[in-house]
Amino acid sequence: MPARTTIAHRVFVTRPIAEAAIRRLAESARVDLWDDDAPPPPADLAEHLRPCDAVLAMVSDRFDAATIAGAPRLGVISNLAVGVDNIDLAAATRAHVAVGHTPGVLAETTADLAFALMMAVARRVAEADRFVRAGRWRMWTPRLMLGRDVWGATLGIVGWGAIGQAVARRASGFGMRVIYASRETPMAGRRARASATPARAATNASAAGAERVALAQLFAESDFISLNLPLTAETRGMIGRTQIAAMKRGAILVNTARGAIVDQSALERALRTGHLGGAGLDVTATEPIDPRDPILELPNVVITPHIGSASHATRLKMAELAVDNILDVFAGRIPRRCANPAVKLRVARRK
């Protein structure tokens, strides 16, 4: 990427992203691009961050307090993701570093993948594909690869943000009964923080034909459970042994949120004993998952490599929004999509 030496702001982009977005960034800043799909090792990240005013970062880059403190000029971390659990938000706010993210533009695409995983597990799509490729398909037989109906089943959505609501809209087209638990509903036995827009959430729920229930009821009644909530201190480990035991026998769990929300060993045990009927996971406890992880032995599990928002069109929108978030800070404004909107900006306008 040719550097524009007349432009004072410097931005580190930690992975190759849509070229159109990088070109637009380069009109306003000197861009240092990490031209590799593998993340910069911590020492390289620190070195590249040191002279930079902004970083366009990925969920697989970690920004802990020490990394932020080692970047004295940094005014904005712009994450190419809606989730910001890779960033120490409190440390960023203390250091006057705004944290931008990309909600909204990825909701429909991520909901598509949640639905794809649900269908793939219920109808054994990945297993059937392996069966055919292994040359085991002899003839049509009435008991071959019997699965579960998605249509007419009950779907429980945990989290009622844009992605959860987009999953609900798809489910209503499949004639599913949709129930959901959100932050206004008692979760893990206690009442959690109220949503900023409960009235809008209720309107959207009635439009999608969804009913808000307590988490315990959602576990007891759902044939499919879709996790669509952010990873926070409150939700880390929220789906543990007790919660899984409370799920309906044979239920299918789909996680397109974050692996750390679920106790993966407890999930694996429940799948082995048959308490749960299957799982569709776009995210895992550690990423990438160890290829020897015992959960990979299970035929009723479909795992994708954290590709919820991975369509060409959506990744372009995310890149453009991530650039907008940086340019906002360069113009002295809070990013239009900001995860710590109370931050006092550090970056002053430069000439």
Of the candidates 10, 30, 183, 306, the residue annotated as catalytic is 306
The strands making up 276-281's β-sheet, listed across from edge to edge, are: 210-212, 177-181, 154-158, 224-227, 251-255, 276-281, 301-303
Residue among 319, 231, 277 nearest 25 (CA):
319
Q: Using CB under 6 A, which of the segments 20-28, 81-89, 138-146, 321-329 binds ligand GLV?
A: 81-89
* Whole-angstrom distance, CA of residue 149 vs CA of residue 274: 18
Here the tokens at position 322 are 């991530």
**CB of residue 135 vs ligand GLV: minimum separation in angstroms?**
37
- Is 258 labeled as catalytic in the residue annotation? yes
Please state the closest distance from residue 309 (CB atom) to ligand GLV, in A. Answer: 5
Considering only 56, 82, 107, 114, the residue that binds ligand GLV (CB under 6 A) is 82
Residues in 275-314 that interact with ligand GLV by CB under 6 A:
308-309
In this complex, which beta carbon is closest to ligand GLV, that of residue 79 or of residue 222? 79
Report the residue closest to ligand GLV, judged by CB. 83
Determine the Cα–Cα distance for residues 53 and 55; give it in Å rounded to an integer: 7
How many residues touch ligand GLV under the rule CB under 6 A: the total is: 7
**Tokens 């120490």 belong to residue:** 88
User: Is residue 229 within the footprint of ligand GLV (CB under 6 A)?
Assistant: no
Which residue, chain included where needed, has tokens 């929108």? 317
DSSP code for 294: G
Binds ligand GLV by CB under 6 A, chosen from 75, 83, 156, 277: 83
301, containing H or E segment: strand 301-303
99 belongs to the binding site for ligand GLV (CB under 6 A): no
Which residues 161-220 are close enough to bind ligand GLV by CB under 6 A?
A: none
- Per-residue b/e over 100-120, b at no fewer than 16 CB within 10 Å? bbbbebbbbbbbbbbbbbbbb
Does residue 101 carry a catalytic annotation? no
Q: For Cα atoms 139, 142, 148, give the angle at the middle one, nearest 5 degrees.
A: 120
Q: Would you say 109 and 314 are in contact if contact means Cβ atoms under 8 Å apart?
A: yes
**Which range in 76-84, 92-100, 149-157, 161-169 contacts ligand GLV by CB under 6 A?**
76-84
The position carrying tokens 């209503």 is 172
Position among 13, 22, 76, 81 found at the interface with ligand GLV (CB under 6 A): 81
Give the one residue of 11, 21, 22, 59 binding ligand GLV; rule: CB under 6 A.
59
**Given 19, 47, 287, 297, the catalytic residue:** 287
Number of helical H runs and strand E runs in the chain: 12, 12
Active site residue 287: yes
Which of 44, 43, 85 has the alpha carbon at shortest distance from 62?
85
Task: Select the residue interacting with ligand GLV from 106, 244, 266, 343 (CB under 6 A).
Answer: 106
Contacts to ligand GLV by CB under 6 A: 59, 81-83, 106, 308-309
Residue numbers annotated as active site: 258, 287, 306
